[in-house]
Amino acid sequence: MQNFVFQNPTRIIFGQAAEKKVGEQTSLYGSKVLLHYGGGSIKKYGTYQSVIESLEEVGLEYIELGGVKPNPRLALVKKGIELVEQEDIDFILAVGGGSVIDSAKAIAVGACYEGDVWDFFAKDITIKKAMPVGTVLTIPAAGSESSTSAVITKLTGMYKKSISSELIRPKFAIMNPELTFTLPNYQTACGAVDIMAHVMERYFTNTKNVELTDRLCEATLKTIIDNVPRVLKDNQDYAARAEIMWAGNIAHNGLLDTGRVGDWASHGIEHELSAIYDVAHGAGLAVVFPAWMNYVYQHDLARFAQFAVRVWGIDPDLKDLDWTACQGIKKTKEFFSSLGMPVSLPELEIPADKFEEMAAKCTAAGPRGNFVPLTKEDVVKIYQSVLN
């Protein structure tokens, strides 16, 4: 286990009717709010009304900026920065999933910077200041509600890049599993894959003697595996929704990173798919992650075999770790498929004509990943492996 420092100051308000406390929480940090959200679903299902009533109860002013799309766009971030400056806003409240929260975080950084906010995504610039952000989570997936990261897409050039800083960790996260009852099954499944990917990026590590966090990772994965099929059958299964929502937070709040170095190649490989083809991040990960596993598993057969046995319950063949490891990969792919997720590029209607471009972008800063550093040629081969 490596040395580490762990902190997560995000206040979690979890449970039924938790969104009614958003005004109380927001008033601790600001008096004029940018209310940031996506499409019409929060208005259609009542979340918007609950939030504005709570804000008004404590006398908070708010300016609205909707329109966040999956793979959130730089253009809307810049519009938000302008609004913050014009309206003298001092707090950003994100109501939605990871895309909305990431957009809010980017606005929070850009509003405190005289240059182009994209500088933080494209250049090695340290974030020195950010506005406070709060969240009302409606889609358990990205874990952005209490993480240090944000991902934004720039349509010019088709780039999808991330930033990370303790300064953009939200002040609070309001998490009511009831707000996820209306999610379409496809969106629920995409979120589940995203959560599992966040855990697996950490699980496949070269760091030795990390038994505790191995077990935490395995428990989080098994929780998703057990509960997602339940909510796909019954969207209003509160107990299962609660398990998924909390697992999504644990998967990306930093706890599972402690003492170990994760990989993150699969996220980088997928980002190029969603940047160019605008596919749902979870759907892209469902294709990429098993392909990455198949490409690198022989680097550490024991770890992949452990994954197969502890997570998927495979009866190990002690004389054939290769077989055992491959069974875990097979089960992962089958599980994604059982959720209605794609497991090949043709299912996403993605052709092979941009593999070189995507691989070049993915590895522009050097080999991608820590478990097995991948070159441009490696990434191309991974894309090619999921053509059928």
Instruction: Name the token pair of 217.
Output: 């990772």
Distance, in Å, from the CA atom of 378 to the CA atom of 381, rounded to the nearest integer, reads 5
Distance, in Å, from the CA atom of 225 to the CA atom of 303, rounded to the nearest integer, reads 19
- Is 183-385 in CATH node 3.10.20.30? no
pLDDT at residue 310 greater than cutoff 90: yes
pLDDT at residue 378 greater than cutoff 90: yes
Distance, in Å, from the CA atom of 388 to the CA atom of 378, rounded to the nearest integer, reads 18
Burial 334-353 (b: 16+ CB within 10 A, else e): ebbeebebbbbbeebebeee
DSSP state of 349: T
pLDDT > 90: what percent of the chain? Answer: 98
Contacts of 277 (CB under 8 A, 6+ apart): 348, 349, 350
Instruction: Name the token pair of 321.
Output: 């770790």
Cα dihedral sign, 135-140-141-146 = positive
pLDDT > 70: what percent of the chain? Answer: 100
pLDDT at residue 318 greater than cutoff 90: no
pLDDT digits (tens, 9 = 90+) for 15-47: 999 999 999 999 999 999 999 999 889 999 999
**pTM for the complete prediction?**
0.97
Compute the mean pLDDT over every residue in the chain, rounded to the nearest whole number: 97
DSSP state of 300: G
Q: What is the pLDDT of residue 153?
A: 97
pLDDT at residue 236 greater than cutoff 90: yes
pLDDT digits (tens, 9 = 90+) for 338-370: 999 999 999 999 999 999 999 999 999 999 999
Contacts of 111 (CB under 8 A, 6+ apart): 80, 81, 84, 85, 89, 131
pLDDT digits (tens, 9 = 90+) for 265-300: 999 999 999 999 999 999 999 999 999 999 999 999
What is the CATH code of the structural domain delimited by 11-179?
Answer: 3.40.50.1970
Q: What is the pLDDT of residue 124?
A: 82
Q: What is the pLDDT of residue 330?
A: 98
pLDDT at residue 6 greater than cutoff 90: yes
Instruction: Name the token pair of 385.
Output: 């492996």
Average pLDDT value for residue range 76-96? 98
Domain locations along the chain: 11-179, 183-385
Q: What is the pLDDT of residue 105?
A: 98
Instruction: Name the token pair of 43.
Output: 């208005």
pLDDT at residue 114 greater than cutoff 90: yes
Average pLDDT value for residue range 91-111? 98
pLDDT digits (tens, 9 = 90+) for 206-223: 999 999 999 999 999 999
Distance, in Å, from the CA atom of 327 to the CA atom of 294, rounded to the nearest integer, reads 11
